[in-house]
Each structure stands twice: as C-alpha cells, then as structure tokens.
Structure 1
Amino acid sequence: MTMGRIRLRPLRAQVMVITGATSGIGLATAMRAADAGARLVLAARNREPLERIAEVLRNKGHEARAVVCDVGNEDQVRHLEATAVDTFGRVDTWVNNAGISAYGTLADIPLAEQRRIFETDFWGVVHGSLAAARVMRRQEGGVIVNVGSVLSDRAIPLQVPYAAAKHAVKGFTDGLRMELLREGAPISVTLIKPTSIDTPYKDHAAAHLTREPTNPPPVYDADLVADAILHAATHRTRVLSVGGGARLMTLTRHLFPGLSDLVGAKVFGDLQVTDVPRGGGGRHQGLFRPVGRGRVHNTSEAYVRRFSTYLFWQKHKTSIFVGLLAAAGLAWLANRECERRERERHRSRWHLPRRRRKHRRRRLW
C-alpha cells in the first residue's frame, strides 16, 4: 500500500502527549516543548508534582493538561487518549517516556519487580503507541516517539530486566513502523536511545545492592534527550542516539561479540556502583508507588556533558554531507583555477616574442 505523505507540524502548532512527565527526560521535554509553543498533555503516576508542573506552565501562558496515569494499565492509557482528544481535538506527537528500573542480579531482583518493569517499560510503550496510532489514523497523521536506551542494543549486568524491556521496546518500535508503512498510515515512528543521562532515574529505581548505584560515565544532560525528542517531532527519522557511547557499544557488540560480553561482565557491573554503603529506610522503591518531587537532574553527578557530537551529526548529517560536497567541489574548482593560471604563466614564459636575428650561413667552402 502506498505510504501517505507525513506532514509534520512545527512545534508551535502541535499537541503533544508526554508520559513520565514529572521528572528527568519527560520533564525536560515538557519544558522545552512548552517554550516552543506546543500544547501539552502531561501524564505520570504522581499527582502532586504533575499538577504543580502543569500549573507552573499555565502561569507562564502555556496550555497544559495534567492526567494521572499508570502507563502499565491499558484502561488508564485509553483515558489519557480520550482526555487529550477531548481537550485539544487531536494529538500530533505522542512521547512514550515513562520508565522504571531495578539494580541487582537476576537472582536478587524478585520476579514481581521484573514483571513490574516490563509492565511500565514495555507494555507502557505498547499501550501508548497503540493509543497514538488510533488517534493519528483518524487525522492527518502524526509522530510516535518511543524512548528506548543504549541498552536496547547491549545488555549489562545489574540491570538485566531493564535492558530486556528496552530490547523489547526496540523490537516493538521497528515492527510498528513497518506495519504502519505497510498500511500506508502517515505516521512517523522514532526510537530514542539515550546513554547515561543526568536524571533522578537511579533514585527512583529499586536497588538490591550493598552500595549506592550510579550512572556509568560519561553522563549527558537530560536536555540533550529532550532536544532529540523534539527533533523527532518535527523531522521524520528512525533512530536518534544520545551520546557517542551508544554507538560505540552497538558497534562493539556487532563486531566483537565475545569481547563485548567479556568487557560487560568485567567492567559494567563495577561502573554502576559507588563506594558509598547503601542506607535502608525503604529508599529507591519507585516501582510500585510514585516517587519524586518533580526535578529534571540528579544532584550527585560530578560532571555532565552538555553536548553530544554524535547527536549533532545525526540531526544535521544531510546538511553536513551537502556542506562537505560543496567544500570538496569548491576545492576542486580552486585547484583547477590554480592549474590554469600555472599553465598560463609557463606558456607566457617560454613563448615571449624574441628579437629576430639575422644569421649568416657559414660557408663550408
């Protein structure tokens, strides 16, 4: 079936649904989208910070609606879908961002927690994507953005259930994109793959460790992921990775799978824990109840990268390629001109008009 033309609206004309909007990547995306003029439907489990964030945005003159929603519950996602359409009439971009995790070995993480991770991280993406597709089929199309992870390509110790869920997100996103292409639906589907990001992610995760968890370096700013999401909302693209480490891990896994497993086993476990003993008191239990106070960044990161060269390349690779071709063309023309001038100079040097001399023939007899 012929693919319908995908018409992507500018952000100032978009209605955007964002799940997991009360912290980290979701909150950073909401703030940037609101500043760009988008009308927002914000979803999360935690009512108090969710409504406070929506109120802050409205006080700044933005349009924002808060909807309490557990994305692992299909009925609640259908309610989110209906609320978005009833409030604004359509949905242009739907961002499936909500996610949870647990630190520990497979033997230590209870199966109930592993199932809960899949309910949110995988089934939440499925519920949101299907809801978005229903709405977008009835209108002129739209954009579905699913937030995966660098761990969509490479599993690591101590976060195996999370990595498995993100692998499933990648497979589902690729399959959804192909099905929509097959039926000709004008819907763009993008997978975002962040590496370690400066968010409260580890503070919200369950942790079955004796030491405090941490993000493996290098750590990137959450605003970079928000930038990637908003780029996907206005530019048709398959995948955007945030952080060069994402590409390096993927390449290593494909080119040297055995070495990649060995490095992962020896290195990535230690990179995820600090030397600080983990305290008790029921901390890090965001799997079964909402936690967090509505903040974008983690307060304990020592150094955070504010720029991703690899993301910049992905966003502007066409312009960069055209620019390089143009530069190569100009260099070729300049070289041709230099050669032409050099030839002219040599020609004028060896063909100057000479004073004619009369030579007498020497008589040989």
Structure 2
Amino acid sequence: MQLKPIQEQVVAVVGASSGIGRETALRFAQQGAKVVIAGRSEAKLASVAEEIRRFGGEVTVALADVTEFEQVKAIAQTTVTTYGRLDTWVHLPATAVIALFEETTPEEFQRVIDVSLMGQVYGAMAALPYLKQEGRGALIHVSSMEGRRSLPLQSAYAAAKHGVEGFLESLRVELMHQNIPISVTGIQPAVINTPFWNNARTRIGVKPAGIPPYYDPRLVADAILYTAEHPTRDFIVGDAGRILDGLQRLSPGLVDRLLLWFGFPLQRSQQPKAEDDPNNLYEPIPTQTRVDGDYTDAVIPSVSDWLAKQPLVQLGAIAGLVTVAVLAAQPWNSKE
C-alpha cells in the first residue's frame, strides 16, 4: 500500500482548534498539504486558518459537532467539493469527566462516549466513501494509551478509547478482506501536555493532571504526519506508553497495584477547580486555542518514537537479537 507524499495530499483534520489537532493542521499546511480544519468553535478555527494563511498555506474551515453524523458528513463533503478529493482523514476530538465512576452521571458518561467514540465512528463513516472513491488513502484516529490500559477516575474516557481500538481492529480487517488499500491507523499517545487537563470536567476538587511524565504534543503531530505517508497499524507516542503497554501485557494485576499506589494522587494538581468551572463537555471553551498545556516543566523527550519510524533499524535489532539467541544456544563448550 502506497500513500501520497504530504505535499500532494488533501487532509481533513477534525478537532483542529487547539492542542494536538491545531499543531497537526499547521504542520500539514506547512508541508504543502491542502487542509480542511473542523471543530465546534468558529472563532477558534478562524485563528488556526489565519495562522495557516499567514505562511501561505491552503485551508478551508468546516464547523461541526462530531456527535452529529450529518455535520461530520458535511466535513468530508466540504473537503471534496473544495479540493476535489480526500486523501487523509485525521480524527482527534475527545472529552472527559475526571471523577469516580459512582460520581459520574449517566448523561456525562453518555456524552463522553458520544464525543470520544461515536465521533470517531462517524468520522470513518463519513470519510470512507471518498477514500474508496480515490482508490487509496489513510484513516488516522487519535486514541489513547487508555485504549490499552484504563486509569482510575477516567472510566468513561477509558471505555470510549477501548471502543475506538476495537472498532479500528474490525474495520481494518474488513478493508483488508475487500482488498481496499486504505491505511487504518490508531495513534495511542501517553500523557501529553495539551489543554486536555484544563478542558475536562472534574469532580476531584482540583484541576486534573496526567500521570507523569508528560510528552510534547508535537510528538503526536509527528506521528500523525508519519503515518499519513507510511501505512502503520498502531503508533504509541511516548516511551512511558510503550512501557505501560509492555507491563499490561506481562501482568495486568501488577499494573492494578501500581495504579492503586500512584494513580489517584498523581492525577491531582494543586489548583482548585469546581465541577461547574469552564469545561468542554458540552460546549467549547472559547479562549482555549493553545497547543501546549500547563505542564511544560514536566515534559520529557521520547527516544522510542524515533525508533518506531525506522523500520530498517527495528529489523536490524530483531535480527541481532535472533543471532545472539542462536549463538547462545550453540554447544560451544561441548567436549564431544
């Protein structure tokens, strides 16, 4: 399966007004792609479009709430009407309620599912007909490491992200069965320093925090742009995410005990926040247009992200390990 170079692509970025989505839209435009940016806030999208046009990029704005299928369909239709085709669909929107499960209302749980899972489903439903029409392309869905391992205080968000992972696995095999060359990628970021923690509704009495370490949102944008050109099944962002994935595969019970120890205190900041303070569960926060969140001092680099983009290096490492294992198994010390 071969994908077009980014400079030749038409890309729809859903959830482009802040955080990872904003950085991703800017990066696609900087590298020459024609970009459609979508979100709920006209003013916030206008600020992204203005920044793109300032450096000479091509951009179109599509206003949409991802919980409304017809509005998501309109994003894809606008893309094809404006630029003649769709090559890559990037879907990011998510929301969260940070609270004990028993303190989360049914309406809040449903809303998180509607935005963070059903929005992703609607995105794929809207984009697929046009990707099939083009004969190739990429569906890139930003999930979370919580699709691999749930955290306490985030039951609705974790349920949605597990749903995204299951949905993508099924869709991917169906497209393979039909011999349709569309790349389906799940991006699983670890804890990223975006305004997500400012936007979440909270019932823990303080502004939520991620379990450190934090990673730069630009690493996620890097992964998205990489997978837009290189068909990739999954891409975990952040060394800590890969360690967590390994631990979960090795011993889920061990991870339970670790999260019991630090999963609660480390999700609490020192900044008071009430549950009715501004959050994006039902409405966007108009002033929240930043890429970075409030935890920049806790951001660290990630070595394994570079390695994940070097398949030849990975093959060499695997070959080296196999060679060592084979040599170790030889009876060099045999006296026979």
Report the TM-score, using the length of structure 2 for normalisation.
Answer: 0.91
**Residue deviations 1:159-212 (CA, integer Å, cap 9, x gap):** 111011000000001111001001111100000000000100011111111122
Q: CA deviation at 1:60?
A: 1.8
Once the two structures are superposed, the pairs formed by residues 153-168 of structure 1 within 5 Å of their partners are 153-168=148-163
Kept after mapping to 2: 8 A contact 1:156/1:269? no
In 1, Cα distance between equivalents of 2:219 and 2:210: 16
Kept after mapping to 2: 8 A contact 1:34/1:62? yes
- Which residue of the other structure, out of 34, 52, 66, is the alignment partner of 1:71? 66
In 2, Cα distance between equivalents of 1:7 and 1:321: 20
Q: Which runs of 5+ in 1 are unaligned?
A: 1-5, 330-365
Matched residue of 2:94: which SS? coil
Kept after mapping to 1: 8 A contact 2:16/2:37? yes
Percent identity reads 34
Q: CA deviation at 1:260?
A: 1.5
Tell me the residue number matched to 1:190: 185
In 1, Cα distance between equivalents of 2:74 and 2:207: 37
Once the two structures are superposed, the pairs formed by residues 31-46 of structure 1 within 5 Å of their partners are 31-46=26-41
Tell me the residue number matched to 1:283: 277
| Aligned AA (1:10) | P
Q: Does 1:321 align with 2:315?
A: yes
Report the TM-score, using the length of structure 1 for normalisation.
Answer: 0.84
RMSD (Å) for aligned C-alpha atoms: 1.8
Once the two structures are superposed, the pairs formed by residues 114-133 of structure 1 within 5 Å of their partners are 114-133=109-128
In 1, Cα distance between equivalents of 2:107 and 2:77: 30
Tell me the residue number matched to 2:328: none
In 1, Cα distance between equivalents of 2:273 and 2:50: 36
Q: CA deviation at 1:221?
A: 0.2
Tell me the residue number matched to 1:356: none
Q: Does 1:134 align with 2:129?
A: yes
Kept after mapping to 1: 8 A contact 2:195/2:288? no
Kept after mapping to 1: 8 A contact 2:26/2:48? no
**Residue deviations 1:12-61 (CA, integer Å, cap 9, x gap):** 00001011100111011111111111110000111101022112212321
Matched residue of 2:24: which SS? helix
Tell me the residue number matched to 2:265: 270
Tell me the residue number matched to 1:175: 170
Tell me the residue number matched to 1:294: 289
Kept after mapping to 1: 8 A contact 2:214/2:295? no
| Aligned AA (1:66) | V
In 2, Cα distance between equivalents of 1:80 and 1:162: 24
Q: Which runs of 5+ in 2 are unaligned?
A: 324-336
Matched residue of 2:61: which SS? strand
Rg: which structure is higher?
1
Q: CA deviation at 1:294?
A: 1.4
In 2, Cα distance between equivalents of 1:243 and 1:324: 21
Q: CA deviation at 1:278?
A: 2.6
In 2, Cα distance between equivalents of 1:296 and 1:163: 23
Tell me the residue number matched to 2:21: 26
Tell me the residue number matched to 1:112: 107
Kept after mapping to 1: 8 A contact 2:212/2:298? no
| Aligned AA (2:309) | K
Tell me the residue number matched to 2:92: 97
Kept after mapping to 2: 8 A contact 1:148/1:170? yes
Q: CA deviation at 1:320?
A: 4.7
Q: Does 1:13 align with 2:28?
A: no
Comparing 85-94 and 260-269, the one that deviates more: 260-269
- Distance change >3 Å, CA 162–CA 276, structure 1 → 2: same
Comparing 48-57 and 61-70, the one that deviates more: 48-57
- Which residue of the other structure, out of 202, 213, 219, is the alignment partner of 1:218? 213
Once the two structures are superposed, the pairs formed by residues 250-265 of structure 1 within 5 Å of their partners are 250-265=245-260
**Residue deviations 1:117-137 (CA, integer Å, cap 9, x gap):** 111110111011111111111
Comparing 246-255 and 131-140, the one that deviates more: 246-255
- Distance change >3 Å, CA 320–CA 256, structure 1 → 2: closer
Comparing 264-273 and 147-156, the one that deviates more: 264-273
Size of the aligned set, in residue pairs, is 321
Kept after mapping to 2: 8 A contact 1:241/1:310? no
Q: Does 1:230 align with 2:225?
A: yes
